[in-house]
A and B are shown apart, each in its own frame.
Chain A
Amino acid sequence: MDSALALHRLHFAFTITFHYLFPQLTMGLALLIVILKTLALRTGNEHYNQAARFWVKIFAINFAMGVVTGIPMEFQFGTNWARFSKNAGGVIGQTLAMEGVFSFFLESTFLGLFVLGEKRLTPRLHLLSAFMVFLGSWLSGFFIIATDAWMQNPVGYKLGSNGEILLDSFRDLILNPWIQWQYLHNMIAAVVTASFVMASIGAFYLLTDRFPEHARIFVRTGVIAGTVAMILMLYPTGDGQGRMMADHRPVTLAAMEGLFDTSAGAPIVLVGQPDTDNLKLDNPITVPKALSFLTYRRWEAEVKGLKDFPRDQWPDNIPLLYYSYHIMVGLGTLLILLMVSCAWALWSGRLYRSRPLLWALLLALPFPYIATTAGWMTAELGRQPWLIYGLMRTSQGFSSHVSAGNTLFTLMGFMGLYMALGILFLFLVHREIDHGPSREAAAELSGVR
């Protein structure tokens, strides 16, 4: 692999992975805050308002991190992927520009009112501003997914006389069938992350005997929203995306599953290490026939293996793709089990006293982040070796005039800067969690801030 190409890829992968740690929380948290504020308005219980105010602070820190690390993403299409942008900018520039015009203006306007304006607005208007921030962030997610969906499954284009990619149908671009499941799967994953974070902080307070009233609200809201969201992750959105993959991109499916040989009644691999030199899977633990059934709804259906696809169509990093996919699915399964157990305990009134479950919720905090990251790695590694699937190879898209040395320089700059940001972020969030939701309550009584 040409080293400039590898560095341009790593540049984007590193900056997008770090960036997406923040929006995945804010997109989900925006919804949960809307729910908390609605409950406050409905029930008149002030604890809901204090709970919402606490999460608005966590939201604000995450949002600031998301904004500043988001700007480099749009820029990098031009700086690091110039040949791709020149060729396809007329198509995906549409959705990227729409994100700026339709969602960022909306978000930035109402964010100020939402974070700073509670004192200036009536409760209803403040709820409306929360809803608008939620709407803006979910619209933003839509335009990004539409952009990615076009790279995964290009539609609505035609080729010009010099091979350039021209927009042919805006309708097809916006109604790309790839968008539906990917969008829902991704946005619900954001709700999962936010639910786990909320429940985890609640469990932390319960286990350390602090802010019990608020902690129960956090655990209850997190567990109910998290259970619903986890189930939707599995079915229909995860299932829908898997079958979309089988229909449109069987070679990607085979690589994700680590399936080298075409087989009728193909098994699902739970554990195993793909060996791409000898084209086999080491140490497999499998569920027989499950892959055939999940993919085609028939136990004996034939699933094509990697050996039956030309090598130049294979994703270029099969082991990493395979592991990403298996980490996503494996963690997803464990997280569903945890959420359903917690929901059951909540329903039977035992959850707030069950130390094992509270411990499990507390320790679960990083895993939704790992699962979403692995999910995105599955999507983007699965797209390889194509930048635009079937149309443009990744090796044809990077900025050929930007040398490996210059790319490494800026990549290291980003790594240093983001390490500092990460430390600052953890430090500030830790402070907020340590202060807890009732500092607000105390301040409220004395009329300060």
Chain B
Amino acid sequence: MIQIVWFCLVAIMIAGYVVLDGFDLGAGIIHLFVARTEPERQRVLHSIGPVWDGNEVWLIAGGGTLYFAFPALYSAAFSGFYLALMMVLWLLILRGISIELRSHIESPIWKPFWDLIFGGSSALLALLYGAALGNVVRGVPLDSDGFFFIPLWTNFQPGQDPGILDWYTLLIGAAAFTVLALHGCYWVVLKTDGDLQQRSRAFGQRLWWAVVTFTAIITVVSFRLQPNILKEFSDHAWGYLFPLLAFAGMAGMRVSSARELDLYAFLSSCLYLIGMLTSTVFGVFPYVLPSISPRPGLTVTNAAAPEYGLYIGLAWWIPGMALAVIYSVFVYRRFAGKVAG
């Protein structure tokens, strides 16, 4: 089934985006707390400087892939979450500008201003991405034409007339915020040394407990809120592989960071993110956007583009992404090791 192949490929793109841009978002979240002096903040920025733009390309390329493979999903979700998406755009603009323009002027007001924008936009993006994922799990009130529109909030209840923000999606948002902050922590620990590294390490150890707590809560709540999850896992027991990955990642983070195996701690965090995302996607399957109205939700098959285009797409997507992975490996190797001050 070519639709399922593309479903997996889009999921890989999204996971790639979350793992890669996740650590530079996380670095943005924590840098206001762990980097105290101007040189320290500069080091955090240097650690992501050569790669953040490439990481964000995963969002653009992932969005493009979603667009051509599942046009009904792309158009419904993007117009339905209109206001949140526009805010994501504004935050991405502010964040990109803050990273690129910060170093242009040496001034005691210029740099702290952009640091604040960088930290704030990173934090809000993490929150909104989490809330977006929460919306997909909760489902949306699809109309008969396959579209919908929901406001930013209504009564903060995930009922029949939901908003983009309700207590459930805000909970997922808070979880995403914490998880990406930890992911960024491990990156900063990996790329720096001295006081900055020590402070990030200590911060990471505390954050880890928050992540464990959030993981437990959102797992229980999501199973109760979206009955499809339980059904999928009981129908296909092999699916437990995905939460197992997340669990292994969570344990790996703890063990590795305690032994100061910083690379393994970071990789464990990647594994945790992949495990959590794939578990979610698996739990919602075969839906890609469940419905809470009487209309059926969007599924892998009814949202997909016709097969001819999907087969053609494989012919350019595979070599294209192979090249992209080669570029990424090249850049990360080129800029490997600790960053200088």
Contacts and interface: CB of A to CB of B under 8 A. Distances in A.
A265 interface: no
A112 B75 contact: no
A85 to B, nearest CB: 4
Given A86-B75, A98-B316, A402-B79, A79 B85 contact: yes
A86 B76 contact: yes
A123 interface: no
A113 interface: yes
A74 B75 contact: no
Interface stretch (A102-110, A295-303, A363-371): A102-110
B97 A166 contact: no
Contacts of A278: none
Interface string B64-79: 1101110110111111
B57 interface: yes
B146 interface: yes
Given A97-B65, A101-B320, A90 B71 contact: yes
A180 interface: no
B149 interface: yes
Interface stretch (A61-69, A243-251, A339-347, A388-396): A61-69
A93 interface: yes
B20 to A, nearest CB: 11
Nearest to B150: A401
B4 interface: no
Nearest to B51: A112
Nearest to B315: A170
B80 A94 contact: no
Contacts of B328: 105, 109
A71 B78 CA distance: 14
Nearest to B74: A78
Q: Give the interface centre of B86, B92, B100 by most chain A CB atoms within 10 Å.
A: B86
Given A82-B147, A102-B320, A112-B50, A90 B78 contact: no
Contacts of A78: 67, 74-75, 77-79, 85
A109 B54 CA distance: 6
Given A82-B78, A402-B82, A105 B324 contact: yes
B331 A100 contact: no
Given A85-B71, A111-B53, A101 B316 contact: yes
Contact of B323 (A69, A105, A399, A424): A105
A97 B65 CA distance: 5
Contact of A98 (B82, B320, B327): B320
B238 interface: no
Contacts of B120: none
Nearest to B323: A105
Contacts, number: 209
A100 B308 contact: no
Interface residues of B, number: 65
B83 interface: yes
A116 interface: yes
B64 A96 contact: yes
B101 A424 contact: yes
Interface string A77-99: 11111111111111111101111
Given A67-B96, A106-B327, A74 B63 contact: yes
A431 interface: yes
A221 to B, nearest CB: 25
Contacts of B86: 79, 410, 413
B57 A170 contact: no
Contacts of B223: none
B100 A100 contact: no
Contacts of B258: none
A235 B86 CA distance: 42
B93 interface: yes
B194 interface: no
A159 to B, nearest CB: 12
Contacts of B146: 86
B332 to A, nearest CB: 10
Contacts of B149: 401-403, 406
Contacts of A81: 75
B82 to A, nearest CB: 5
Nearest to B320: A101
Contact of A89 (B68, B85, B147): B68
Contacts of A403: 149
B163 to A, nearest CB: 13
A72 interface: yes
A421 B317 contact: no
Nearest to B78: A78
A97 B324 contact: no
Contact of B101 (A69, A100, A402, A428): A428
Contact of B306 (A108, A167, A410): A167
Contacts of A93: 64, 67-69, 71, 74, 305, 309
Interface string A385-419: 00000000000000111110010011001100100
B112 interface: no
Interface in B196-251: none
B160 to A, nearest CB: 17
B334 interface: yes
A99 B317 CA distance: 11
Contacts of A79: 78-79, 82, 85-86
B148 interface: yes
Given A82-B79, A97-B65, A399-B82, A167 B104 contact: no
A282 interface: no
A100 B61 contact: yes
A105 B327 contact: yes
Contacts of A431: 104-105
B49 interface: yes
A376 to B, nearest CB: 21
Ranked nearest first, the 8 interchain pairs of A and B with the lowest CB-CB distance are: A89-B71, A93-B68, A78-B78, A100-B61, A97-B64, A90-B305, A82-B79, A101-B320
Given A105-B61, A401-B143, 7 more contacts: A61-B104, A72-B93, A89-B68, A109-B328, A116-B50, A167-B308, A406-B83
26 contacts: A67-B96, A74-B63, A74-B64, A80-B79, A81-B75, A85-B67, A86-B76, A87-B71, A97-B61, A97-B313, A98-B316, A99-B64, A100-B65, A101-B65, A101-B316, A102-B320, A102-B323, A105-B328, A106-B327, A112-B331, A120-B334, A167-B309, A417-B94, A421-B93, A424-B97, A431-B105
Interface of A: 60-61, 64, 67-69, 71-72, 74-75, 77-94, 96-102, 104-106, 108-109, 111-113, 116, 120, 160, 166-168, 170, 399-403, 406, 409-410, 413-414, 417, 421, 424, 428, 431
